[in-house]
Structure 1
Amino acid sequence: MQEQNTLATLGNVHLLGIGGVGVSAVARLMLARGLTVSGTDAKDLPVLDDLREAGARINVGYAASNLGDADTVVVSSIIKDGNPEYDEAVARGLRILHRSEGLAATMEGHKVITVAGTHGKTTTTSLVAFMLREAGISPTFAIGANIASLGVNAEYGQGRVFVAEADESDASFLNYAPDVAVVTNIEADHLDHYGSVEAVHRAFYDFACLLPDSGLLICCADDPGSLALAVRMRRERPELRVQTYGFAEVADRRLSDAKPVGLRFACTLEWGSGETAALELAVPGNHNLLNAAAAFAVGLDCGLEPEAAVAGLGAFTGAARRFDFRGEAGGVRVFDDYAHHPTEVTAALRAARAVAGDGAVHVLFQPHLFSRTKEFHREFAEALSLADSAYVLEIYPARETPIPGVTSELLTRELNTAGRLVSMAEAAEVLASVAAPGDVVMTIGAGDVTEQAGAIVAALEKRLGS
């Protein structure tokens, strides 16, 4: 962990990529803490108007002169050498902080709750923040997605609790100083950064080691990596409080009797010496019951009564692009999900199967990153084969250049269900043509596949009527 920066040392702060969901969250919180804030983005995005209204000086288009009298520059991971403002900051010798370091500075004076994991961290962070706000605690929070239930992805609250999503993708979660840390799961991912599965596990261990002796580590007992971390920390740091949750018998907070109840999902949560609570969610799937169990544990640590915790969790309606309902036409429901790892795709499709009931499940999937597709194409094919039909778009490259021989065909030729490779131009019509009343259609992936959800609804209306 790097030395923590305090608000008093930052001076005037200039943020590069200020329109991005993560950097804009930092800007919101810095403005709320009374700092002088400016920033630049390549595009004039709607969020920039909100930041202008809050008092930030905003530029569209990068130029060295935009730095003005900045003392500190905050950057996202995508800002590199060659950006004129970044290069000017280096030339001036200004303090340059990663987005996570800027966020860490805004945590000053709070009880810090960080949520990490290969999957589920956005939803779990959102559940925690929403639950606490519903209970009147008024937390500050920063989340890596726009949250419909919260109305915003970052907010400065009146309480002393700070809830933050902790991103492991580039190991920047090691820049925080948490009092409570949640680890939803630990799996191989972001190997372009880490290089090996062992390095991923080491990073999560280092993350857990950031906790003070009085801290609390909350781990999922259903995930081998997370459970192994809990066991290790109990052995190495007996003074640290460690709690586990899950359907597994060994879990300290155990879930059981999970089932759909109408359009909701329910289970029984048991802990201690026979204490129980009935947990019922508006978001589907066992994976969300697990996320809620983690949030429940955080709530009790923050002083909530069990009844208040489950009530808040039950009122949560979801995070953007996490089993996000996008419309219905002709009796076919269309959902969109950000899943971009095989385990996430499996969880999304299992939830879709539960929602569909006797209907079929059809998926349009867009692989994200050449490196991830190369590493996990067989696992993706296995996950997609849970659907009745799976149609696959070409790889969304994001930050990567193509890898020779790595295309979506690596995945489609391993499918064990109906489906094929489709183009973006034909995707909506193809999915609409295979769906029947009572079915569920999902668009899945971290790229621009999300834009196809609305197109599929329109195509279904044309074919089946509204």
Structure 2
Amino acid sequence: MATGIPPAMERPHFIGIGGAGMSGIAKILAQRGAHVAGSDAKESATADALRELGVTVHIGHAAEYLAEDASCVVVSSAIRADNPELARAAELGVPVVHRSDALAALMSTSRTIAVAGTHGKTTTTSMLAVALTELGLDPSYAIGGDLAGPGTNASHGDGEVFVAEADESDRSFQKYDPDVAIVLNVELDHHANYASMDEIYESFEAFVAKIPHGGSLVVGEHAGARELAARVSAREDLTIVKVGEDEDADVRIVAITPKGMTSEVTVALQDRGEITFTVSVPGRHYAHNAAAALAAGIRTGVDPVGLAHALTAYTGVGRRLQLKGETKGVQVIDSYAHHPTEMTADLEAMRAAAGDSRLLVVFQPHLFSRTQELGTEMGRALALADASVVLDIYPAREDPIPGVTSALITDAATAAGADVTTVHDKTAVPEVIAGMAEPGDLVLTMGAGDVTDLGPQILAHLTN
């Protein structure tokens, strides 16, 4: 694959360069030889990793950070219109490029696998990136989390395949034209951008419409994904591959056998027999992710047996049931789950892994709009834990909504019979958990915000 850089991206400036999606694109451009610069709100390990690649990273946002010779400014949907670097770009006449357009340009010379769905994207993309690398195919990849092995969320490879996470939250995945697309599930989320399921389906249909003639669509067995498949089934030039445990699946999951913090998965391929392999994270949800990755790889021309066994090399990705450590018989695990379906999947997986031990959860709701629409379902999911601590809502890019607080979740959890405690001061959580945890317990920090920072602090408090 050519390592050329699109002319507009020879000297890019990223606003919010430390973000999961933005940093990945910046890393790939730097590895291809571009002169990359950017700014972010705070120092981070990601900023340090970018600097090691020769990227100039400024902390904070200021007009003077944008160099006059910048070829473009790259932004995500999270960047506000009053950002001083955006204003400076307008003064200088520097083109502004959305993150999705930048990623689309990077993928344009590759055979692309794009992974979409309301949840499971990061894990499935990661599984493919690791397995294809294990097979020596040297893929490029852009992922919304750091792989446990290489410890990065993106890489430029010399192989033909580019694996990318395709984000539906702001409709930006409609910019891509993948040879193979995976849609794991379709559910109502991102309520600030979608008003109904009809809008969600229309957005996913627009994504599928970009798959070129002769391409493939891999769908999970989730009802929303199958509905999407039905809606696009009139396309005779598109191969639709169904994955799941139901009898009509093209890649059928025959068995999922829990093995502690791993699972043994057996799949049946049409006319190819059964293959058994190990998935390094527990639970049905992750077994389905692995089967979808297998199906997509096969459609890209990879040998199914070799790919299945290469999937065993996947050892996890940051924040997806990631073990943060163990002390005094207590394991602390981190989960990115923030939608009720994700929460339920991870809690069920951890419930099975805990066995007779207790499962304690620290949950931080993410976004006021999501809590307003799905708070009751979040609370019901927490009933799967033995006890939960619920924090205040992490606002991210949103302003508060009157009357929307984490009480929507705790009230629903209590009504469902859950043992739940509200803690408004996040710094108090390590002491609260230390007072609750006993040897053998599993502690799960859960949410898409900065709740992830609490894992090491809880371990330190338990150790003292």
TM-score, normalised with respect to structure 2: 0.93
- 2:364 is matched with 366
Q: What SS does the corresponding residue of 1:355 show, helix, strand or coil?
A: helix
Which of 440, 443, 459 in structure 2 is aligned with 1:441? 443
Tell me how far 1:31 sits from its aligned partner. Answer: 2.3
Percent pairwise identity: 45
User: Match for 2:421: what amino acid?
Assistant: R
Q: In structure 2, what is the Cα distance between the partners aligned to 1:125 and 1:406? A: 33
- 1:136 is matched with 136
Q: What SS does the corresponding residue of 2:74 show, helix, strand or coil?
A: strand
Q: In structure 1, what is the Cα distance between the partners aligned to 2:332 and 2:372? A: 29
Counting only pairs closer than 5 Å after superposition, residues 16-415 of structure 1 correspond to structure 2 as 16-65=15-64, 66-221=66-221, 223-234=222-233, 236-273=234-271, 275-415=273-413
Q: What SS does the corresponding residue of 1:119 show, helix, strand or coil?
A: coil
RMSD: 1.9
Tell me how far 1:356 sits from its aligned partner. Answer: 0.5
Q: What SS does the corresponding residue of 2:227 show, helix, strand or coil?
A: helix
- 1:420 is matched with 421
Change (3 A) 1:9 1:390: closer
Q: In structure 2, what is the Cα distance between the partners aligned to 1:42 and 1:362? A: 32
Change (3 A) 1:105 1:255: same
Q: In structure 1, what is the Cα distance between the partners aligned to 2:360 and 2:99? A: 38
Is the 8 Å Cα contact of residues 187 and 200 (structure 1) preserved in structure 2? yes
**How big is each residue's C-alpha offset from its partner over 1:63-88, in whole Å with a ceiling of 9 and x where there is no partner?**
33423212321112222222122112
Moved more, 398-407 or 254-263: 254-263
Tell me how far 1:338 sits from its aligned partner. Answer: 0.7
Is there any run of 5+ residues in structure 1 with no aligned partner, and where?
A: none
Tell me how far 1:295 sits from its aligned partner. Answer: 0.7
Change (3 A) 1:238 1:426: same
Q: What SS does the corresponding residue of 1:413 show, helix, strand or coil?
A: helix
Q: What SS does the corresponding residue of 1:62 show, helix, strand or coil?
A: coil
TM-score, normalised with respect to structure 1: 0.93
Q: In structure 2, what is the Cα distance between the partners aligned to 1:430 and 1:49? A: 32
**How big is each residue's C-alpha offset from its partner over 1:413-438, in whole Å with a ceiling of 9 and x where there is no partner?**
12121122123243223323333332
Is the 8 Å Cα contact of residues 218 and 244 (structure 1) preserved in structure 2? yes
Moved more, 135-144 or 385-394: 385-394
**How big is each residue's C-alpha offset from its partner over 1:289-329, in whole Å with a ceiling of 9 and x where there is no partner?**
00000111122223322222122211211110010111222
Q: What SS does the corresponding residue of 2:193 show, helix, strand or coil?
A: helix
**How big is each residue's C-alpha offset from its partner over 1:315-354, in whole Å with a ceiling of 9 and x where there is no partner?**
2111100101112223222111010000010011011011
**How big is each residue's C-alpha offset from its partner over 1:38-57, in whole Å with a ceiling of 9 and x where there is no partner?**
32334344434443443434
Q: What SS does the corresponding residue of 2:81 show, helix, strand or coil?
A: coil
Tell me how far 1:102 sits from its aligned partner. Answer: 0.8
User: What count of residue pairs does the alignment treat as equivalent?
Assistant: 456
Q: In structure 1, what is the Cα distance between the partners aligned to 2:135 and 2:189? A: 35
- 2:461 is matched with 459
Is the 8 Å Cα contact of residues 360 and 444 (structure 2) preserved in structure 1? yes
Tell me how far 1:18 sits from its aligned partner. Answer: 1.9
Change (3 A) 1:377 1:9: closer
Q: In structure 2, what is the Cα distance between the partners aligned to 1:169 and 1:454? A: 30
